[in-house]
Structure 1
Amino acid sequence: MKLFIQRRGIVTFLMLLWSISIVPVSAQESRFPLIPYPAKLTAGKGSFIITSKTSITLAERFWNEANELNDLLSKGLGKKLSITKNSNPHAIKLVYDASITAPEAYKLTITPQQVIIAAKDPAGVFHAVETIRQLLPVAVESGIVNNQLALPVMSITDEPAYEWRGMHLDVSRHFFAISYLKKFIDRMALYKMNKLHLHLTDDQGWRIEIKKYPKLTEEGAWRTFNNQDSACMKRAVDNPDFTIDKEHIIQRDGKTLYGGFYTQDEMKSVVAYAAARHIDIIPEIDMPGHMMAAINAYPFLTCNGENKFGELFSKPVCPCNENTFEFAENVFKEIMEIFPSKYIHIGGDEVDRSDWAKSDACKALMQKEGIKDLPALQSYFINRMEKFFNARERKMIGWDEIIEGGVTKTAIIMYWRTWVPGAPVKAAQNGNTVIMTPGEPLYFDAQPDQYSIYKVYHFNPIPKGLNRKEASAIIGAQANIWTEMIPSENRADYMYMPRMTALAEMLWTNDQSKYNSYLKRLVEQYPRMDALKIHYRLPDLPGLLNEYVFTDEGKLSISKPLPGLVIRYTTDGSIPAVSSPELPAPLVIKQPEMVKVAAFTPSGTRGDVYSLNYTQQNMLGPVKIGSPKPGLVCSYYKAFFKETALMHNAKADSTFTSDKIAVPPTVKAPSFGITYKGYLDVPSDGIYTFFLTCDDGGVLRIGDNITVNNDGNHSAQERSGQIALKMGAHPFALDFIEGGGGFKLLLKYSINGSEPKEIPADWLKN
């Protein structure tokens, strides 16, 4: 999304540099809005001025990086600089330094006379170029020509904390053009990310040309609109970001089809483009499950010829027929010709194995090979494919399900199932390399909110339970973008930016203490994103609730998170538009109503729409209770519930008393429900606000009122609500359900706008 921020001119910026010699780190961080922030930065006096007469000198191995730097500078100067091996005065020098041993590390020294980029490997030089890019004026990104460019005098010593700094893009559910992949790569490079995981195949579409099996793309790359497309179309009525990109819609044989695929030559061009920016593209061909698009084209791949969805997932390919392995090996041979990466991702997640149990071929194979169960049969398939990969000097990556039936130590595990927290620990202790991609907080297809950036920045890739040696198996992390509900390039931008910047800094610096300076530096990054035409998510409007109450009148005031924004509102149920009135400071509310607010940039781009429901209440009086006991009475249900109300007619498996709102550590069931009942004994009159965070769903009732409704199966999200309470005890009920996910339950309160806190144990009674 576009926004415009008032920024100091370059002359003022340079005057600040000239007046300062060595400054404290905190001040330096605010002066230099670099993301990720370098491991060590020392500022100096003055600047290095780049003109058309400046040259680039280099060691032989850094020609590609010299050209990347030249392309960058030419956008601002209007012409390219000379590149030479000869040493020249007033030059930018790319120097080989064997003493820099860490992979991707570099040293950047800027003096008034010269710039020296020193590194051992080309990736280090390239990262230094991207640091220079962020030090240059934003105008460079737009190709605005100046006679000269200035770099502040400083020295930087820098290296990444983690080897794997990745992003994942699902191009199967919704398809993305080659041009967008290259934009995506450019943005990753700007923030020093180095791994792009492309999810190329799934039930909804096969996206890469395989010459031996042409029907994979002739048929498997196209579909009639499905339920996900329909859901996007419905949401597009109010939000144009959900409009399906029309370039991927065709007419064939009287049908409207959605899809597309990459030819091998097209994808080779993307691989080369990424390699020039030191980004490794890892292809994923997901099997044995998620293969419906392939099975539609080649039905022999299943055990019984059927191709449909089971109770949860689609039918997989059959691991008991040699035809399946012949197909898989032929596909991966061509994949390896396209992608030189040493890593190949085989998927291995969400497999409905029920048909395997009915197959005579599988029964015979299991008896022959001594395979004890269906998870072990899946491991037979995975391990056999890994041998095929290893024979061709490739390393196999699989989602963490592949450890269930046993896996070799050489397989790389990509952990995503937050409801199986022991999976990465088990894998690391087994000797496997592990990449962390947990759904919470690294599934960037989850709707971002005011806590998303904080959670990403403070994510620790090292799970609890590992000693130092075992922790070395964790090589990094990546964010995943699944595109069932991401049908356009604009929507994709919105979902991963600016979250990716938080992930980039966390994986590069591994220093959570820099969070506040990161937020300040992020503000300075938005104009660069504007220049790059990134349709990013505007910062949240701060401090808003889902439900408000008032006794006499309410007042709504909203601080602007960025300069230049205009906050507009409606009270008639319509979505705020550029023609809607600007929110006054404050808006006085004297009757129950729904207020909808949204921020707008000067260009008219709208941020998120917030629906604020105001209800007028009298203070709720307390109830009398006899001899209260401490804590709440809890009922525990070992079952899956789609919504909390379904627990009310179920039989509890056990009951217990708790003096806090939290999932007990003894709960092990993957799906369950808990009800908390009793009284909330508040110490004073006031407007109480409750903040309920659930993964999956929860409903809070105080008295006869639903105070917070956070029901349903969803990832961790916070909902809030208010109620006017008089001092004393009030009936309290909280229903919580977990469908198989993060086991997240947290309830906080504030009174009359105070800082949110956890509810004291002595307030909870039964």
Structure 2
Amino acid sequence: MRLSHLKRLFVLSAACLFGLQNAGAQDVRYPIIPYPTSLTPAAGSFKITAATRIADASGKFTNEALQLNQLIKQGLGVALKQGNTSAVIALKYDASIAAEEGYKLTITPKQLIIAAKTPTGAYRAVETIRQLLPAGIEGNGTRLKQLTLPAVTINDQPAYAWRGMHLDVSRHFFSISYLRKFIDVMALYKMNKFHLHLTDDQGWRIEIKKYPKLTSEGAWRTFNNQDSACMKKAKDNPDFIIDPKHIVKRNGKTMYGGFYTQQQLKDLVAYAATKYIDIIPEIDMPGHMMAAINSYPFLTCNGENKFGELFSKPICPANESTYEFAENVFTEVMDIFPSKYIHIGGDEVDRTDWERSAAVKDFMKQHEIKDMAALHSYFINRMEKFFNSKGRKLIGWDEVIEGGISPTAIIMYWRGWVPDAPVKAAKNGNTVIMTPGNPLYFDYQPDQYAIDKVYHFNPIPAKLNAQEAKAIIGAQANIWSEMIPSENRADYMFMPRMTALAERLWTSNPDDYNSYLKRLNSHYKRLDKLKIRYRLPDLPNMVTESVFIDRDTLSIKKPMAEMQIRYTTDGSLPMATSKPLGQGLVITKPQTIKVAAFTPIGSRGDIYTLNYKKQAYAPALKVANAAPGLAAVYYKAFFKQSSLISKAKADSIFTTSAIAVPASVNAPSFAITYRGYIDVPATGIYTFYLNCDDGGIVKIADRMVVDNDGNHAPIEKNGQVALSKGLQPFALDFIEGGGGYTLKLRYSINGSEPAEVPAAWFKH
């Protein structure tokens, strides 16, 4: 007994030591995203050949056994035969598994066992196995003599019930084949809710038989300002070319658009159901209805159909014909989509027409409605009762809570600048789905921090207690398509960010970001096989505005070994035939270099434009009695560019030691200027990183260092300046246009790791 005990201790100690020394190797051996709830590595592997047998031992998982067999056939070229008595791959029913999507996976050198209580759980296990199989099984790859799976024991279930992706097909239209591809990628990463935004001002995309003009007219438009912006960007990036499949000639006009027939959508719903993905349709109202109003003007209060100050004019809640139209539309929608959830939108409603309408005033008096927010909620609450009568649940964007909402509605929180909205909804008893713009609007241009921000997003608002937190059932990422005119661009915008969200929502408290990145690196080959035009990993330490004293060397560490980095110096865009960067490029004169990474299959990553200029060290100033902190001026107004601040009247003045917006600022749009000096501790070339939403610029020693101006989502830009030790003039201008703000300034010197600028450096 003593010898056996010592031997056991030795084995356990060795296993622990092996795990510590091979954490990175484990990520390569089990490259699963999202990472399982529990994964126990084991020695050896299970080999699948044409002689292997497969069986649905329970008789409950026929579909899942077929899908697993199809994956194996893609690798071997032949499907496995069924064999209940001799099968070494078996799907078994396990009543002890409580979670709807839970499963157990046991792989040993002798067998592969999937245990689940539901077909959904069994299917999630199949997708885990898919990720453990070689990437070559995807597509029409080379057939293999055997497939190898690493031995492992996995017990798995999701942390959140709602793991969603949203796609707007109204601003720009996407084919049914692309929607199937989108569903396939969702399934690979265990996402389970597909929110399909089918209508908006720019196009109506779903056939409604009672109102045929919605698609014969509402599904088509002449090119708009968003199309023009895409066309401009297409000169440098072919992903912005508007898909010609959706362009037609009508009555001598070039029209863009398209729609889905009811049968096409029913087929799509059935396809998604085989992968246990629920499609949630959104018909957005009472706002965002311009495409419908164009054909059916009776929907308005006054016959007008145009944009107001910010949003389009809505349909009229005082007309019974409006409710008849809405109920008829949603009845047909419900016949197509069996989903328990139907999304009504309800966001961004311009209520000014309602305020001017005598009919609306009479309606409000008759129904004892106190204000426009309450009228908005009256419309939503009335539609919810209709939804409930059909056995469905209503989802609305978080604006619908402003005038009062029933606790049975589901709230989708998106307005990051209204942080109390999900808290208010949860305390009201509503179920809440988190979709805040930062970081879950995947139409926002990704940068080097995009994946990190998604991975570390916490769906639970800090102000909720443990009981209230149960109202948060999950989250989803939204893809609005104003600037996404092609399928390639859509791929680029959501992948690989979606993998980070998948792990955040499936894996309880994921806390190993480095492990995730290692696992992600092994997924790119699979995505290549699936023809997903994902965004390539960022090239590290790219400084867009660089300075040098005598000379500099551009060298880039490749984030993927198989990448090739190519560059140009003549202003042209890097192509697959451009000169490779190699070990480095010596810079001795001012010039502009364009750099991009390429994969072996020809995919190009982001293009980096690097401007080099020669610069002498700026001499320090001697300033008597410089006080700590910076002088800051606050302006309560809207600015499109920081240069317009000088023409505005200041609201208040204060002193601060931090580059940050004070907690007391609550205006939706404003500007802050920071002035003073920065006390540079050593002579050198400094890089400054300005991350802001919306815009900002940094000048030091009267030199432009970072230009991140304009109204835009959170994004970081950087620049360098050569500074002598001592006090240097410092100026930072920041503008916020509304919609949530970010303001951060970091620095590095002579290539050091970026860090926060110390408060002690600021003087005035």
Instruction: Report the TM range for the smaller structure's normalisation.
Output: over 0.9
- Matching of residues 38-187 of structure 1 within 5 Å: 38-53=36-51, 54-83=53-82, 87-143=84-140, 144-187=142-185
Deviations 1:497-518 (A, max 9, x none): 1111111111111434221011
AA in 2 matched with 1:138? A
**Inter-partner Cα distance in structure 2 for 1:359 and 1:597:** 57
SS at match of 1:647: helix
Is the Cα–Cα contact under 8 Å of residues 456 and 504 in structure 2 kept in the other structure?
Answer: yes
Contact 1:58–1:66 (CA under 8 A) maintained in structure 2: no
Give the 5 Å matches for 1:227-246: 227-246=225-244
Q: Distance in 2 between matches of 1:609 and 1:387?
A: 51
3-state SS of 2:522 partner: helix
Residue in structure 1 matched with residue 407 of structure 2 by the alignment: 409
Contact 1:291 1:316 in 2 (8 A): yes
Quote the residue 1:605 is aligned against. 603
SS in 2 for 1:295: helix
Give the direction of change, closer, same or farther, for the CA distance of 1:286–1:561 in structure 2 (3 Å limit).
same
1:449 counterpart = 2:424: no
Determine the C-alpha separation between the residues in 2 that align with 1:502 and 1:90.
36
1:695-710 aligned at under 5 Å gives the runs 695-710=693-708
| Counterparts in 2 of 1:100 and 1:690: CA distance versus 1, 3 Å | same
Q: Which has the higher contact order (CA 8 A, sep 6+)?
A: 1
Equivalent position to 1:347, from 334, 345, 348: 345
Given that 1:90 and 1:113 are in contact with CA atoms closer than 8 Å, whether structure 2 keeps it comes out as no
| Structure 2 residue 652 is the aligned partner of structure 1 residue 657 | no
CA distance in 1 between counterparts of 2:110 and 2:730 reads 71
Q: Displacement, 1:101?
A: 0.4
Do the aligned partners of 2:37 and 2:508 also contact (CA within 8 Å) in 1?
no
Structure 2 residue ranges without an equivalent (≥5): 1-13
| Pairwise CA distance, 1:278 | 0.4
Counterpart-to-counterpart distance in 1, 2:316 and 2:515: 53
Question: 2: distance between equivalents of 1:114 and 1:578?
Answer: 45
Paired position in structure 2 for 1:591 = 589
Aligned equivalents of 1:748 and 1:274: distance in 2?
A: 45
In structure 2, what is the Cα distance between the partners aligned to 1:607 and 1:560? 12
Residue aligning to 2:532: 534
Name the stretch that deviates more: 564-573 or 271-280: 564-573
Q: Which residue of 1 aligns with 2:717?
A: 719
The alpha-carbon deviation at position 70 of structure 1 amounts to 1.9
Equivalent runs, 1:572-591 vs 2, <5 Å:
572-591=570-589
Cα separation, 2, equivalents of 1:21 and 1:216:
64
Cα distance per residue 1:615-649 (max 9 Å; x no partner)? 11111011221211111111111111111111112
Moved more, 222-231 or 294-303: 222-231
* Distance in 2, Cα, partners of 1:510 & 1:576: 42
Tell me the amino acid that sits aligned with residue 24 of structure 1: G
Q: Distance in 1 between matches of 2:63 and 2:602?
A: 40
Which residue number corresponds to residue 315 of structure 2?
317
1:275 and 1:639 map into 2 onto residues whose CA distance is 50
Q: Structure 2 vs 1, CA of residues 21 and 70 (structure 1 numbering), >3 Å: closer, same or farther?
A: farther
Residue of structure 1 aligned with 2:367, choices 366, 369, 387: 369
TM-score w.r.t. the length of structure 2 is: 0.96
Q: Which moved more, 1:52-61 or 1:210-219?
A: 52-61
Deviates more, 1:549-558 or 1:74-83: 74-83
Q: Give the ranges of 4+ consecutive aligned residues of structure 1 lying more than 4 Å apart after TM superposition.
A: 19-23
Identity of aligned residues (%): 67
| Aligned counterpart, 2:568 | 570
5+ residue gaps, structure 1: 1-18
Paired position in structure 2 for 1:14: none
User: Using the alignment, how far apart are the partners of 2:287 and 2:326 within structure 1?
Assistant: 13
- Residue 10 of structure 2: aligned partner: none
In structure 1, how many angstroms separate the alpha carbons of the residues matched to 2:272 and 2:178? Answer: 13
Matched-pair contact (CA < 8 Å) for 2:28–2:522:
no
Aligned counterpart in structure 2 of residue 729 of structure 1, from 727, 730, 733:
727
Counterparts of 1:575 and 1:728 in 2: how far apart (Å)? 40
CA distance in 2, matches of 1:445, 1:608: 16
| Residues 1:24 and 2:19 are matched in the alignment | yes
- Pair 1:519-2:514 in alignment: no
CA distance in 2: counterparts of 1:206 and 1:580, whole angstroms: 43
Between stretches 144-153 and 697-706, larger displacement belongs to 144-153
Question: Which segment drifts farther, 162-171 or 596-605?
Answer: 596-605
Report if aligned partners of 2:693, 2:711 keep a CA contact under 8 Å in 1.
yes
Paired with 1:761 and 1:113, the residues of 2 have a C-alpha distance of 62
The amino acid that maps onto 1:113 is K
Distance 1:34 1:749 in 2: 36
Q: Which of residues 224, 227, 234 in structure 2 aligns to 1:226?
A: 224
Q: Match for residue 246 of structure 2? A: 248
Stretch moving more, 581-590 or 187-196: 581-590
Q: How far did residue 265 of structure 1 move?
A: 0.5
Could you say which residue in structure 1 is the equivalent of 2:11?
A: none
Q: CA deviation at 1:83?
A: 4.1
Structure 2 residue aligned with 1:671 = 669
Aligned positions, number: 746
Retained in 2: the 8 A contact 1:22–1:42? Answer: no
In structure 2, distance between residues paired with 1:616 and 1:455: 35
Q: Distance in 1 between matches of 2:758 and 2:606?
A: 34
Further displaced range: 570-579 or 400-409: 570-579
> Hey, what's the Cα distance between the residues in 2 that align with 1:573 and 1:724?
25
CA distance in 1, matches of 2:327, 2:301: 18
The 1:21/1:44 distance shift into structure 2, 3 A limit, reads farther
Structure 1 letter corresponding to 2:65: A
Deviation sequence 1:388-425 (CA, Å, 0-9, x none): 01111111111111111111111111111111111111
AA at the equivalent of 2:81: S
For residue 461 of structure 1, the aligned residue among 438, 455, 459 is: 459
Q: Is 1:23–1:43's contact at 8 Å kept on the other side of the alignment? A: no
TM superposition shift of 1:20: 8.9
How big is each residue's C-alpha offset from its partner over 1:551-588, in whole Å with a ceiling of 9 and x where there is no partner?
Answer: 11122111111112211111221111223211142211
Partner amino acid, structure 1, of 2:465: N
SS at match of 1:61: coil
Distance between the aligned counterparts of 1:179 and 1:48, measured in 2?
35
1:763 alignment counterpart: 761
Write the letter of the residue equivalent to 2:19.
P
Query: 1:528 Cα deviation (Å)?
Result: 0.4
Deviates more, 1:40-49 or 1:371-380: 40-49
* Cα distance in 2 for residues equivalent to 1:422 and 1:95: 46
Report the RMSD for the aligned CA atoms in angstroms. Answer: 1.5
Correspondence 1:301-316 to 2 at 5 A: 301-316=299-314
Deviation at 1:22, TM superposition (A): 9.8
Q: Paired residue for 2:192? A: 194
Q: Distance in 1 between matches of 2:568 and 2:644?
A: 36
Q: State the match for 2:282 in structure 1.
A: 284
- Work out the CA distance in 2 between the residues paired with 1:630 and 1:51: 73
Distance 1:501 1:450 in 2: 15
Say which is worse superposed, 108-117 or 500-509, in terms of deviation: 108-117
CA distance in 1 between counterparts of 2:36 and 2:679 reads 50
- Distance in 2 between residues matched to 1:139 and 1:319, nearest whole Å: 56
Q: Which residue of the partner structure matches residue 433 of structure 2? A: 435
Q: What amino acid is aligned across from residue 73 of structure 2 in structure 1?
A: S
Deviation track 1:69-111 (CA, whole Å, cap 9, x = no partner) reads 1222221222223346xx3223322111111102201000112
Alignment partners' CA distance in 2, 1:112 and 1:683: 61
